[in-house]
């Protein structure tokens, strides 16, 4: 059984957040679940695991946001780790929201750290008003389903021959096809009791097949926030052998929340299920020739980078020391293997599609 790290295992009893003070407040949880797809990044989708993440909201409105901002965080004394950008309706509300959150944390004699934010939020935290040190040690892969369909078509042409990662992709797709792996989207109301049982059994077998320390911002809960998520299932002989879950985030984008093939799945199942979902998304877009900003894109979420770079207010020996420590932790915990997995097992879709290695997403520390 995998050894999953629980960020709250060693927590002291945390003071309640000013707004979401009662973990049984289902109405407030539902409200946050509605805000994440409209205003959240891939990092914010993790907050919906309310047993792992705590929620902060200010006591008063913060202009010009149309609603009171939301921030998910984890606490491990003496630190509070804010995860991702706060949810606001207007970027101009980021700075006053950050100041309010920091003030709230420091009032409890705790130290705030912000992780996995975008470029706008990094500039707020590292800017003159707050003056934090900011560093970059993560990236995010984003794919365009239309481009993936183009390069995986039978008549696709390439200068200099077919790239090796694309050859591997097509090889694994053929393997899944020969094994009669069938990928289907399962919509609301279409889940049978047997399908759900097969999925839950497959996930449990998959968990048992893993070994070593498992570090992740979320766990695999297939039915969490089900009303907002979309599901694709890979079948072999009418039995589920894999599942892919998409969750919507802001900017006409979906995040691949989970994509796994079960231990008894034929080779190529991982590639087939991701390719099948991207194909369906592409077909939904039709033949639209509109601006790229209007097209659906799919993100694999945040991944640890093999590079560590200082961004603001940090230089000299401290950068070298932090980079050395980060390298040891990332290697020891296997964080870099997650990116390798996407290239090797997930059919290099982060390379086949529109790869965006963004220095906008950064880890921010005081």
d(CA 262, CA 362): 33
* Residue 183 bridge partners (DSSP): 234
d(CA 6, CA 4): 6
Listed in order, strand segments (DSSP E) in the chain are 3-4, 54-56, 71-76, 79-83, 111-117, 133-143, 182-186, 213-214, 230-236, 239-249, 253-261, 297-312, 362-365
240: CB partners within 8 A, 6+ apart: 195, 198, 199, 202, 233, 234, 262
| The model's pTM | 0.82
* Residue 82 bridge partners (DSSP): 73, 114
Structure tokens at 20: 């979401």
Supply the DSSP symbol for 4. E
CATH architecture of the domain covering 143-294: 3-Layer(aba) Sandwich (3.40)
pLDDT in tens, 122-172: 999 999 999 999 988 888 888 999 988 988 887 777 777 777 888 888 899
Q: What angle do CA 363, 256, 118 make, to 5 degrees?
A: 25
pLDDT in tens, 342-354: 433 343 454 444 4
Query: So what's the pLDDT on residue 252?
Result: 87
Whether the CB-CB separation of 183 and 173 falls below 8 Å is answered with no
Percent of residues, the chain, with pLDDT higher than 90: 53
Query: So what's the pLDDT on residue 83?
Result: 95
Query: So what's the pLDDT on residue 295?
Result: 81
Query: So what's the pLDDT on residue 203?
Result: 93
Domain 3-131 and domain 143-294, same fold? Reply is: yes
Task: Tell me the C-alpha to C-alpha distance, in Å, between residue 192 and each of 173, 186, 198, 199.
Answer: 27, 10, 10, 11
Q: Parse the chain into domains and list their residue ranges.
A: 3-131, 143-294
> 103-127 burial by CB neighbour count: b if 16+ within 10 A, else e?
ebbeeeebebbbbbbbeebbbbbbe
Whether the CB-CB separation of 53 and 116 falls below 8 Å is answered with no
103: CB partners within 8 A, 6+ apart: none
In the CATH hierarchy, which fold is given to the domain comprising 3-131?
Aminopeptidase (3.40.630)
| pLDDT digits (tens), the chain, 366 positions | 333 333 333 343 344 345 444 444 788 888 999 999 999 999 999 999 998 899 999 999 999 999 999 999 999 999 999 999 999 999 999 999 999 999 999 999 999 999 999 999 999 999 999 999 998 888 888 899 998 898 888 777 777 777 788 888 889 999 999 999 999 999 988 998 988 999 999 999 998 887 655 555 567 889 999 999 999 999 999 999 999 999 999 988 999 999 999 999 999 999 999 999 999 999 998 755 544 556 889 998 888 888 888 888 888 888 888 888 888 887 776 676 655 444 333 434 544 444 444 443 444 444
d(CA 334, CA 212): 9
Cis peptide preceding 262, ω within 30 of 0: no
Q: Helix 164-178 and helix 145-152: axis angle, to 10°?
A: 80
Whether the CB-CB separation of 71 and 56 falls below 8 Å is answered with yes
Query: So what's the pLDDT on residue 236?
Result: 95
């Amino acid at each position: 059984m995998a050894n999953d790290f629980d960020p709250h295992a060693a927590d002291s009893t945390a003071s309640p957040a000013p707004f979401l003070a009662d973990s049984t407040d289902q109405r407030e949880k539902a409200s946050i679940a509605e805000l994440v797809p409209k205003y959240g990044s891939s990092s914010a989708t993790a907050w919906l695991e309310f047993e792992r993440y705590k929620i902060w909201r200010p006591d008063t409105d913060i202009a010009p946001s149309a609603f009171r901002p939301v921030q998910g965080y984890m606490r491990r004394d003496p630190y509070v780790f804010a995860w991702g950008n706060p949810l606001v309706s207007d970027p101009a509300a980021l700075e006053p929201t950050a100041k309010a959150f920091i003030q709230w944390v420091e009032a409890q004699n705790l130290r705030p750290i912000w992780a996995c934010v975008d470029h706008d939020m990094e500039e707020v935290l590292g800017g003159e008003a707050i003056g934090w040190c900011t560093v970059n040690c993560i990236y995010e892969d984003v794919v365009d389903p239309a481009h993936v369909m183009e390069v995986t078509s039978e008549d696709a042409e390439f200068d200099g021959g077919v790239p090796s990662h694309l050859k591997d992709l097509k090889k694994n797709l053929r393997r899944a096809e020969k094994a009669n792996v069938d990928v289907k989207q399962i919509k609301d109301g279409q889940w049978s009791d047997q399908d759900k049982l097969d999925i839950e059994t497959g996930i449990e077998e998959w968990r048992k097949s893993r070994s070593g320390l498992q570090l992740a911002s979320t766990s695999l809960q297939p039915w969490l926030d089900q009303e907002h998520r979309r599901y694709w299932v890979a079948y072999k002989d009418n039995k589920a052998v894999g599942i892919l879950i998409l969750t919507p985030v802001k900017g006409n984008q979906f995040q691949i929340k989970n994509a796994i093939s079960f231990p008894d799945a034929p080779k190529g199942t991982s590639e087939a299920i991701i390719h099948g979902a991207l194909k369906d998304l592409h077909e939904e877009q039709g033949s639209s020739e509109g601006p790229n900003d209007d097209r659906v894109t799919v993100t694999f979420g945040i991944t640890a980078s093999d590079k560590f770079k200082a961004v603001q207010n940090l230089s000299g020996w401290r950068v070298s020391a932090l980079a050395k420590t980060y390298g040891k932790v990332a290697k020891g915990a296997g964080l870099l293997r997650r990116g390798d997995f996407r290239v090797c097992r997930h059919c290099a879709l982060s390379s086949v599609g529109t790869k965006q290695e963004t220095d906008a997403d950064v880890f921010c520390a005081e």
